[in-house]
Chains A and B, each alone.
Chain A
Amino acid sequence: MHFITGGAFNGKSKWVKEHYRLNAAPHLWLSAYHGHSIPENTENWLDFVVLEGIEKWVQEWSGQLAIHEVREKWRMLLRSWTQWERAENRELILIGSDLSKGIVPMLAEERKWRDVTGWVYQDIAEMAEKVDIIWYGISQKIK
């Protein structure tokens, strides 16, 4: 698992496409920004899968569930994805925007979303073999 994070509009997806040369490689790209829902199972997945907009999926659950529930559900997903990735030649890429460096939001629901996103990112980063931060197209490998 490879986790890609960094600020919004910093070129994270573009970096993934170029780094993995996805123009010329079969892959499945699921994006929260394009209305795809959280893939709760790995049916019909190709061997190379990119999940984009993690923070948006977290937001969806954050609006419905308690923080510990959101986090637990994500951990279960992450475990099942790690399981899926064990088969040979499979790779999963997760892309999530960093929400963590602004002023404390006025609205409780936004504070909750921001908090739980940070925790989910910690869980993702722990399970991922590789983590990169993208800063205007430049990658910084932190794991």
Chain B
Amino acid sequence: MAKQSSLIFISGGVRSGKSRFAERLAASIANQTAGNLHYIAAGQSSDPEMERRIVRHQKDRSKSGLNWKTWEQPRGLKRLSSVFTSNDVVLLDCLTTLLNNEFFSSEDLWKESFFQEQIMCSIIEGVEQIAKSCRALIIVSNEVLNERIGNNELVFIYGRMLGRLHQHIVTSAKEAYLVEAGIPVRMKGVDGHEGSHDSRNGIGCWEKPDSDSDLQGFCQ
């Protein structure tokens, strides 16, 4: 029997409550399966503001009374592909930070298409391998593509990579949510977990795409 995708995608604007929702969702799944909670932290404390943000998120997680195991992984997601077991619930927060770190990992390489492809593939493969190994992989990301992209090459390339990553992940995800003002709107997936919050009434969002392409295929 083919294992159902364990991937859940959550996105939203700044301060939309996406992390909080992701953590609650993770806890609720872990609760059902008696699995362990893992947190992949992509943020690096490069300045005091980031440091404060990281501390705030850490406090939130420890206040929750749940036992999160934290993995600091600012880059090289694939390195975590063999550390989880089948009951584990893994939360990656957030994809934009991970992409930033990879993108700027070497001075000027971001302009090169081979480097862009390499980053995309390594993230996609990392996501795929982790998703396969655990009970649920929840990925948190940001809504940043609803404004003019402009003529800045760096912003254009970054935006295109992030958009393509999101498309790939949503395609292969079992569930996808857009969080607005603390309210998660389910964009994909059927009634699933207890504790998920489908606030949507009447709008039919999810239409199955014609092709059943998944993450595979991109990196071949």
**Contact residues in A for B150 (Cβ distance below 8 Å):** 110
B211 x A136 contact (CB < 8 A): no
**Contact residues in B for A66 (Cβ distance below 8 Å):** none
B207 x A102 contact (CB < 8 A): no
Please pick, from A9, A21, A138, A140, the residue contacting B163 in the complex, using a CB distance under 8 A: A9
B145 x A10 contact (CB < 8 A): yes
- CB B6 to nearest CB in A, in angstroms, measures 18
B146 x A141 contact (CB < 8 A): no
Please pick, from B145, B147, B166, B203, the residue contacting A140 in the complex, using a CB distance under 8 A: B203
**Contact residues in B for A135 (Cβ distance below 8 Å):** 170, 178, 187, 205
A137 x B146 contact (CB < 8 A): no
B188 x A138 contact (CB < 8 A): yes
**Contact residues in B for A136 (Cβ distance below 8 Å):** 9, 163, 166-167, 169-171, 176
* Extra A-B contacts (18), CB below 8 Å, given A135-B178, A140-B205: A7-B143, A8-B149, A8-B159, A8-B163, A9-B162, A11-B167, A14-B167, A98-B146, A101-B146, A102-B147, A113-B148, A114-B147, A114-B148, A135-B205, A136-B171, A138-B176, A139-B207, A142-B203
Let me know if B24 is at the binding interface, CB within 8 A: no
**Contact residues in B for A103 (Cβ distance below 8 Å):** 147
Residue of B nearest to A11 (CB): B167
Residue of B nearest to A55 (CB): B148
> What band does the interface of chain B fall in when counting residues whose beta carbon is under 8 Å from A?
20 to 34
Find residues 86-107 in chain A having any chain B CB closer than 8 Å to their own CB.
Answer: 97-103, 105
- CB B117 to nearest CB in A, in angstroms, measures 16
B148 x A110 contact (CB < 8 A): yes
- CB B102 to nearest CB in A, in angstroms, measures 17
**Contact residues in A for B71 (Cβ distance below 8 Å):** none
Query: Looking at A10, A114, A136, which has the most chain B CB atoms within 10 Å of its CB?
Result: A136
**Contact residues in A for B146 (Cβ distance below 8 Å):** 6-8, 98-102
Let me know if A129 is at the binding interface, CB within 8 A: no
Distance of A8 Cα from B164 Cα, bound (Å): 10
**Contact residues in A for B163 (Cβ distance below 8 Å):** 7-11, 136
Let me know if A43 is at the binding interface, CB within 8 A: no
**Contact residues in B for A21 (Cβ distance below 8 Å):** 210
What are 30 of the A-B contact pairs (CB < 8 Å)? A7-B163, A8-B159, A9-B145, A9-B159, A9-B162, A9-B164, A10-B166, A10-B167, A11-B163, A15-B209, A18-B210, A19-B210, A21-B210, A100-B147, A101-B143, A101-B147, A103-B147, A136-B9, A136-B163, A136-B166, A136-B167, A136-B176, A137-B170, A137-B171, A137-B209, A138-B176, A139-B205, A140-B187, A140-B203, A141-B203
